[in-house]
Amino acid sequence: MSRSVLVTGGNRGIGLAIARAFADAGDKVAVTYRSGKPPVDLIDLGVLAVRCDITDPEQVEQAYKEVEAAHGNVEVLIANAGITKDQLLMRMTEEDFTSVLDTNLTGTFRVVKRANRGMLRARKGRVVLISSVVGLTGQAGQANYAASKAGLVGFARSLARELGSRNITFNVVAPGFVDTDMTRSLSDEQQAGIVAQVPLGRYAQVEEIAAVVRFLASDDASYITGAVIPVDGGLGMGH
């Protein structure tokens, strides 16, 4: 059955692959973008693109209105939008910290809260949050980012308890290093250092993250909630 799926930050990177995976499976997909529009072939697949900065509650509300008008209530929400502002603690500014928290954690709160309205009414829903392996292991230079991604775990697990009786599941996907703009901005030396620590010896491709997200939103995952699923080539084993 075709469901109404919303992917935040679906114009590029992991979010784009997730949007494609749902659209290819026949779902009604909407993506939010902040600066750059999604590629034309995604729009050709029938995907609705809505401008939305998730740090702005009014834009979140407006985006939901547009999506609901086109596709009905959101039944599957993938909270994927996120940023990094890496810096050692000594040099990390207040703005470096709060802007990353405001996007990755509070922004996710905003979109999840708004989706929940329709899910409660429908007495069903699937929410998948995109965290990161570093939210579990920590990472030098990423205290802000790791804190935001760890926060998503407590957030999802609290909601899994709060809303399980309403047949709404909340799960977290924790990717390792994925081949996207976010990781391409690292130096060659940093990238080689990361790959050396990954048991599978390579970055993930975006499709490998999308496949797990789609599974968590499928009927096959109907009894999974509050889970943190690593998709990290073994990098975070034991955490």
Residues with catalytic roles: 145
CB-nearer residue toward ligand NDP: 83 or 120: 83
DSSP track, the chain: ---EEEETTTTSHHHHHHHHHHHHTT-EEEEEESSSPPPHHHHHTT-EEEE--TT-HHHHHHHHHHHHHHH-S-SEEEE---------GGG--HHHHHHHHIIIIIHHHHHHHHHHHHHHHHT-EEEEEE--THHHH--TT-HHHHHHHHHHHHHHHHHHHHHGGGTEEEEEEEE--BSSHHHHTS-HHHHHHHHHH-TT-SPBPHHHHHHHHHHHTSGGGTT--S-EEEESTTTTTT-
Q: Per rule CB under 6 A, is residue 183 in the interface with ligand NDP? A: yes
Binding mask 19-58 for ligand NDP (x = CB under 6 A): -------------xxxxx---------------xxxx---
CB-nearer residue toward ligand NDP: 133 or 221: 133
Range in contact with ligand NDP (rule: CB under 6 A) among 4-12, 85-93, 112-120, 189-197: 4-12
Q: Which of residues 64-123 bind ligand NDP (CB under 6 A)?
A: 80-83, 103, 107
CB of 54 to ligand NDP, least distance (A): 4
Residue numbers of the site for ligand NDP (CB under 6 A)? 8-9, 11-15, 32-36, 52-55, 80-83, 103, 107, 130, 132, 175, 177-178, 180-183
